[in-house]
Amino acid sequence: MALGLVGVLCVVGQAWCIAALVGPALGGAHTRRPLWAIAFALLGLMQIACGYYADRLGFETGAAARRRLRTGLFVGLFARGPASMPAPAGELGALAVDQIEALEGYFARWLPAAALAIAGPALVALVALIADPVAALVLAGAGLLVPIGMALAGLGAAAASNRQFVAMSRLQARFLDRIRGIATIVLAGQAEAEAQRLQSAADELTRRTMRVLRVAFLSSAFLDVAAVSALVILAIRFGLVLRAGTLADPEAALFPILLVPPFFAPLRAFSAVYQDRLHANEASARLAPIAPPATQAMPPLPVRTVHASALTVAFENVSLTRDPARGPVLDGLSFRVPGGETAILVGPSGAGKTTVLELLLGFLRPDRGRITLNGADLTTITPQALSRMTAWIGQRPILFAGSIRENIRFGREDATDAEIEAAAKAAGLAQLAALLTEGLDTQVGEDGYGLSGGQAQRVAIARAFVRDAPLLLLDEPTAHLDPATEADVLDSLRRLTVGRTVVLASHSSAAAAFVGRRIVLAESQSGREKGAA
């Protein structure tokens, strides 16, 4: 902002230099003033330097803001956990990339431009007041027309910008969802229909973007009318004085006319970046609900770690309601799993088996009751400690684009190559690695592209072996496997469960392969879920 004000002063100084060079010629004198020409050039260089460093500082400020906002977004998402994502993955991706990117202009351009839109014209008007009070009055009157016109245009711009942001978010979310489900679309014969729907969504975004641009041009038109009006009035006044032959000081008379461009330049810059503020409003409205939790004024509960071997898990009268309209998912669930033993959660779909695992993972907190690990309340255990002592294998393992070795190492970043190879052997990946030319260094695509379901599940099991956590949570680990592959995976899982406390949510065929106490989650006639050990 300070550099912007210095730049305005440089332009004002250049205006005086032009008046000093041209004014005498209007009065009939023919004099050369090389010093004024040199001063004009130096002020121009200074103004360019101020603009360059102002833009550079603005970019650095915007980049810092984007880093801070993305960090806050990720912290907020991680604090919520996967069980309570506030929006589909496509919308969250658009928010993290495009909409936070749109906030860069708010910090880098709009904030300094908003300050200069007031300070810059006020500074020029003050100089004009000293040189010619009438000219200052004309500039002030024309300048007041600008915010009135921009306010009228801004009402339409805000609505148009909101609709444009909604259309962009919907298009991005739809595109990502369709790409993720492209196999289903092709097999259902809906490829052409979905392509047409995407084309319609893209056309809608184009129309709404053009409406935003039309409103922006309308706002610029108000500014042009005000600037031209001030210039015409001052030029007519100067021409009348020149024609009457009463021009005593041509330099002082020409100077106010030359102040018109620097007077409106900050207002023009403000108008050019006004869309950045509208985009920031829309993006911040979507970011606010996902903001990281504020630091509580009250002292937090004491946090601690627990002895991470022979973990005993206990649920004490735990109740949880996800949706009040559907009733509680868990209602007074109590059970205890001694260290090194296995608990098998059985029950119909929707009985709350996955919910129990999400509670143990820390993704959810019970409405009533408490969960303990070796007697320590789960809410008092540090997240880092809970993560170290827990391994989880779900129905569809998440594999990232990279090598098989890198995907196994995701379980523990400091694992050595020897530990990774031992884990792969224990998980039954040795035969697969022997068939691949690059072994465990073979590259796989996103979501394990290039591996079968059973092979991907073995990578997840190897990841759990490397993690070597005392608490193992299994969520339907063989739900989507054929019987032969399921038998092989279950054999690896049985080796993995040795010496660990295991909580398994599974269908009956997989549950029969494990020895342990069964915890039945059954739906009562009232719609409440009850657990009995």
Mapped onto helix, strand or coil, the DSSP state of residue 350 is coil
Phi, psi of 518 (to 5 degrees): -100, 135
DSSP string, 58-108: HHHHHHHHHHHHHHHHHHHHHHH-GGG-SS-HHHHHHIIIIIHHHTHHIII
**pLDDT > 80? residue 448:** no
Mapped onto helix, strand or coil, the DSSP state of residue 1 is coil
Mapped onto helix, strand or coil, the DSSP state of residue 273 is coil
d(CA 491, CA 512): 12
User: For the residues 57-64, what does the mean pLDDT come to?
Assistant: 89
DSSP string, 177-192: HHHHTHHHHHHTT-HH
Contact 273, 105 (CB under 8 A): yes
- pLDDT for res 353: 87
Quote the mean pLDDT of the chain.
Answer: 80
Give the C-alpha distances (Å, rounded to integers) separating 509 from 82, 128, 452, 514. 28, 88, 21, 10
Phi, psi of 396 (to 5 degrees): -125, 100
- pLDDT for res 152: 65
**pLDDT > 80? residue 153:** no
* Beta sheet of 368-373, edge-to-edge order: 330-337, 313-320, 368-373, 376-377
User: For the residues 128-150, what does the mean pLDDT come to?
Assistant: 83
Confidence at 248, pLDDT banded by 50, 70, 90: low
- pLDDT for res 482: 78
Phi, psi of 298 (to 5 degrees): -75, 150
Contact 169, 94 (CB under 8 A): yes
d(CA 92, CA 83): 15
| C-alpha 479: how far from chain center | 34
d(CA 424, CA 408): 8
d(CA 463, CA 411): 5
- pLDDT for res 53: 93
| Token duo for residue 152 | 């009228």
d(CA 203, CA 196): 10
Exposure string over 53-83, b if 16+ CB within 10 A, otherwise e = ebeeebeebbeebbeebbeebeebbeeeeee
d(CA 66, CA 99): 10
A 10 A CB-CB count for 195 gives 12
Most confident of 147-151, 288-292, 314-318, 486-490: 314-318
What is the pTM (predicted TM-score) of this model?
0.62
d(CA 348, CA 508): 10
d(CA 320, CA 359): 10
Contact 464, 412 (CB under 8 A): no
| C-alpha 377: how far from chain center | 33
User: For the residues 77-105, what does the mean pLDDT come to?
Assistant: 75
Identify which has the larger pLDDT, 135 or 177.
135
- pLDDT for res 526: 33
d(CA 451, CA 399): 10
| Token duo for residue 180 | 């993720």
pLDDT digits (tens, 9 = 90+) for 31-54: 677 888 899 999 999 999 999 999
**HSE toward the beta carbon, residue 510, CA cutoff 13 A:** 28
Residue whose C-alpha is closest to residue 223's, from 264, 263, 258: 264
Phi, psi of 320 (to 5 degrees): -150, 135
DSSP string, 458-517: HHHHHHHHHHT-SEEEEESTTTTS-HHHHHHHHHHHHHHHTTSEEEEE--HHHHTTS-SE
User: For the residues 421-442, what does the mean pLDDT come to?
Assistant: 85
Positive or negative torsion for Cα 2, 7, 12, 14: positive
What are the residue ranges of helices labelled H in 324-451? 353-361, 383-388, 404-409, 417-426, 430-435
Superfamily classification of domain 313-532: P-loop containing nucleotide triphosphate hydrolases (3.40.50.300)
- pLDDT for res 437: 81
- pLDDT for res 528: 37
Domain boundaries, the chain: 2-290, 313-532
Which of the 8 DSSP states describes residue 449? T
**pLDDT > 80? residue 1:** yes
**pLDDT > 80? residue 501:** yes
Share of the chain above pLDDT 90, in %: 11
Confidence at 295, pLDDT banded by 50, 70, 90: very low
**pLDDT > 80? residue 177:** no
**Amino acid code (one letter) for 11:** V
Please tell me the least confidently modeled range out of 4-13, 172-181, 456-465: 172-181
User: For the residues 512-533, what does the mean pLDDT come to?
Assistant: 59
Task: Identify the CATH number of the domain defined by range 2-290.
Answer: 1.20.1560.10
In sequence order, the 6+-apart residues with CB closer than 8 A to the CB of 2 are none
- pLDDT for res 483: 79
User: For the residues 244-252, what does the mean pLDDT come to?
Assistant: 67
- pLDDT for res 531: 42
Mapped onto helix, strand or coil, the DSSP state of residue 220 is helix
- pLDDT for res 26: 67
pLDDT digits (tens, 9 = 90+) for 310-336: 789 999 999 988 878 888 888 888 999
pLDDT digits (tens, 9 = 90+) for 393-414: 888 888 888 888 898 998 888 8
**pLDDT > 60? residue 296:** no
- pLDDT for res 297: 41
Positive or negative torsion for Cα 445, 447, 448, 451: negative
Same fold, 2-290 and 313-532: no
Share of the chain above pLDDT 70, in %: 84
**pLDDT > 70? residue 417:** yes
pLDDT digits (tens, 9 = 90+) for 3-33: 999 999 999 999 889 888 887 776 666 667 7
140, with CB counted inside 10 A (0-12, 13-18, 19+), is middle
